[in-house]
Homo-oligomer: A and B are copies of this chain.
Amino acid sequence: MSNRLPTLAVVGATGAVGSVMLDILSTRENVWGEIRLVASPRSAGKRLTVRGEQVEVQALAPEVFDDVDVAMFDVPDEVSKEWAPVAAERGAVAVDNSGAFRMDPEVPLVVPEVNAEQAANRPRGIISNPNCTTLSMIVALGALHRAYGLNGLVVASYQAASGAGQEGIDTLRNQIDKVAGDRTLGDRAGDVRAAVGELGPFPAPLAMNVVPWAGSLKEDGWSSEELKVRNESRKILGLADLKVSATCVRVPVITTHALSVHASFDRDVDADAAREALAAAPGVVVQDDPATADFPTPADVVGTDPTWVGRIRRSIDDPTSLDLFLCGDNLRKGAALNTAQIAEVVAAEFTRG
Contact = CB atoms under 8 A, between A and B. Distances in A.
A181 B177 contact: yes
Interface stretch (A41-49, A59-67, A139-147, A245-253): A245-253
Contacts of A300: 189-190, 193, 204
Nearest to A316: B230
Contacts of A210: 158, 251, 253, 258, 297-298
A115 interface: no
B243 A260 contact: no
A222 B299 contact: no
A271 B241 CA distance: 22
Interface stretch (A4-12, A70-78, A121-129, A212-220): A212-220
Given A177-B180, A190-B300, A312 B158 contact: no
B222 A313 contact: yes
Interface stretch (A24-32, A276-284, A287-295): A287-295
A323 interface: yes
Contacts of A221: 271, 288, 290, 311-313
A325 B253 CA distance: 20
A205 B325 contact: no
A290 B247 CA distance: 13
Contacts of A228: none
Contact of A187 (B193, B217, B247, B302): B302
24 contacts: A156-B247, A176-B176, A176-B179, A186-B298, A189-B301, A190-B303, A193-B299, A204-B299, A208-B299, A209-B299, A210-B298, A212-B295, A212-B296, A212-B297, A213-B295, A213-B311, A220-B271, A220-B313, A222-B316, A223-B290, A243-B315, A244-B317, A245-B262, A247-B262
Interface of A: 152, 154, 156, 158, 160, 169, 173, 176-177, 179-181, 183, 185-193, 203-205, 207-213, 217, 220-223, 230, 241-245, 247, 249, 251-255, 258, 260, 262, 271, 288, 290-291, 293, 295-304, 310-318, 321, 323, 325
Given A220-B313, A245-B317, 8 more contacts: A156-B247, A176-B179, A187-B303, A211-B297, A221-B313, A247-B262, A247-B325, A262-B262
5 closest pairs, A vs B, by CB?
A: A186-B254, A156-B156, A180-B180, A203-B293, A156-B260
